[in-house]
A and B are shown apart, each in its own frame.
Chain A
Amino acid sequence: MIHLNNIQKSYTSGQNKLHVLKGISLDIGKGEFVSIMGSSGSGKSTLLNILGILDNYDDGEYLLNNTLVKGLSERKSAHFRNELIGFVFQQFNLISYKNALENVALPLFYQGVNRRKRNIIAMEYLERVGLKPWAEHMPNEMSGGQKQRVAIARSLIAQPKIILADEPTGALDSVTSIEIMDIFKTVNDQGITVLLVTHEHDIADLTKKKIILKDGLIDEIVVNTPKINFN
């Protein structure tokens, strides 16, 4: 699903050149549930940006769903993001003047699906995250956990191959965090690859695989042992 080969990325600010990714090679298969960990400055956000085609890279190869992602036009990358990737953000990033239903339906708007049809589909996805009764509510009327569930519904509606989540639980309390992780697990169980960036160990432990970055390189990859269900 994702194939990275020696990805390099550096930022220049004035005279200084900051080498952020120093050669990342990585394979993530279909249906994996992976977390990327690392201290701040380790390059995990940059890696997520490149994986999400939100930013380009300087050197190396990135194959997404067997397509080389390199030097794409804005138009093309927008198309890929829309079709292949679902995003979940730390601050939810819902559009404040649209209600939950309209927020969920937004990716379909950019696919040119008509309003009636996308609202029907959006309602299905809201139901999946258990927020059907909240469809008409505005984001400021919802709790953090509810907002993130709306955001997850939005990331799923275009039936992407991968969900990329940037610190999805960073703004939530621990109980809500577990709920959100449960949703991700359900999504993953349906065969969708889920990749999340976090710095919380107990969140990372809930995924199947941890990729630990350090100074722009992969430090180690830890495969989590499946949790034993005592119940």
Chain B
Amino acid sequence: MFSFEIFQEILNSIRQNKLRSFLTCFSVAWGIFMLIVLLGSGNGLQNGMTSSFKDALTNSIWMSSEITSLDYNGIKKGRRIDLKNEDQAAIKQMSNQIDLSSTRYTIPVSTTIAYKEKYGSYEVRTVMPVYREIELIKMMEGRFLNDRDQSEFRKSSVISTEIRDYYFPKENSIGKYLKINNIAFQIVGVFEDKDNWDNNRCIYIPISTAQQIFSAGHNISLLAVTLKDITVDQSKDIATKAKELLAKRHNFDPKDPRAVNINNNFENMDRSLSIIRAINIFVWFIGIGTIIAGIVGISNIMLISVKERTQEIGVRKALGAKPWSIITMVLQESIFLTTMAGYIGLVLGVGLLEIVSKNIPENKAFINPSADIGVAIWATVVLIVAGAIAGFFPARQAAMIKPIEALRYE
């Protein structure tokens, strides 16, 4: 349908009103440019948020020991609740949707790590072997802690790549002994967990060993569980039940906002995703609004152009142009103008996003802002539809011109 004739028409109509065409096309280009940049930024935010959840399974719930903030059963507030090894089994029995679970104990004193003449201060996390699956820890060398480390109270340790690079720049670290507060722990593996800065600056040792060395008895600081195939509401339900159970076991008010802190990653993720969704809706709203302004502009210039060409259209009709060929002539012009202007905006928008995403310093909140192919396809559809809408009224106007106009002279 698109022919040389149509192209000639369009070029002519642009040429006749250069400034007007430019301004109108600019408004459409600007609309698409804004839409692409906003959508890209939205993507950047979304990538940032999703990646901040990558350091742990999003289907996990974390319970940690804290201090009570409400009086209960005649006991004053301000009491420290210590979760116990036994709580793990109790929580596990609560629901069959609980999949993995691990305890963690936080060493109450600062830890000094030494190897030969090198000293440093790093966080030491004391966990169960299954913790690796909950925290999604990637092993680079050797192995993670295993069940025998745990049951035999072995002094085994797993270090991060960063720690390895600090203590063992030139030698193999596996099998070497690191001194943690002057107690030698053998290195059994090296991991990498770069999603979070802290996660790549720590050492894992068995919780059983730690509880023994630091005389912690059965105290734990953290209990993490993962849940399988459940909805956000179900996870909230389990979190509430877990708090009630722990309240009963440790004699505190289940309504106490502190005492035991429950961090439900399900809910966190869901909340973030709904924020992103809202941002996306907002972005489309603004973008579409800007494009509508452009459409009105195109429609306007086309109406004027049809008006100016009344006689020409009359002549065409006298020569045998059917109403439909006049309509398609106007519609194609409108779609062409919109699409061309829109594509300029699209290319500029994508270009800007590319430049930005290549040059922004690494940060966690805004990662790889880009408009994907889906957005480009959507934008094209929007443009063609927009062009058709913009051309609708002018085309109708043109189709209504009577061929008699050909004989009317000013």
Chain A interface residues toward B at CB < 8 A = 45, 48-49, 52, 54-55, 74-75, 78-79, 81-83, 87, 89-91, 93, 95, 97-98, 102, 106-107, 109-111, 115, 154, 158, 166
Contacts and interface: CB of A to CB of B under 8 A. Distances in A.
Contacts of B316: 95, 106, 110
B320 A89 contact: no
Given A87-B319, A95-B312, A54 B324 contact: no
A87 B406 contact: yes
Contacts of B15: 97
A17 to B, nearest CB: 19
B86 interface: no
Nearest to B320: A82
Q: Most A CB atoms within 10 A — which of B317, B321, B325, B407?
A: B407
4 nearest A-B residue pairs (beta carbon): A82-B320, A97-B12, A110-B320, A78-B322
A78 B8 contact: no
A93 B315 contact: yes
A18 to B, nearest CB: 16
Contact of B321 (A78, A97, A102): A78
B324 to A, nearest CB: 7
Contacts of A83: 320
Contacts of B322: 74-75, 78-79, 110
B7 to A, nearest CB: 12
B interface, over-half SS: helix
B12 to A, nearest CB: 4
Contacts of B324: 75
A109 B404 contact: no
A89 B323 contact: no
A49 B403 CA distance: 9
Contacts of B407: 45, 48-49, 54, 89, 166
A89 B317 CA distance: 14
A177 B392 CA distance: 43
Contacts of A90: 409
A100 B268 CA distance: 72
Interface string B237-250: 00000000000000
Nearest to A158: B320
B156 to A, nearest CB: 82
Contact of A106 (B319, B323, B404): B319
A109 B5 contact: yes
A81 B315 contact: no
A54 B323 contact: no
B320 A54 contact: no
A171 to B, nearest CB: 9
A217 B311 CA distance: 29
Nearest to B311: A93
Contacts of B288: none
B318 interface: yes
A78 B404 contact: no
A81 B319 contact: yes
Interface in B177-219: none
A46 B402 CA distance: 14
A46 to B, nearest CB: 10
Contacts of A45: 407
Contacts of A81: 317-320, 403
B326 to A, nearest CB: 10
A78 B320 contact: yes
Given A78-B317, A81-B317, A166-B407, 15 more contacts: A48-B407, A54-B318, A54-B402, A55-B404, A78-B322, A78-B403, A79-B320, A81-B320, A91-B409, A97-B15, A106-B316, A110-B319, A110-B322, A115-B4, A154-B319
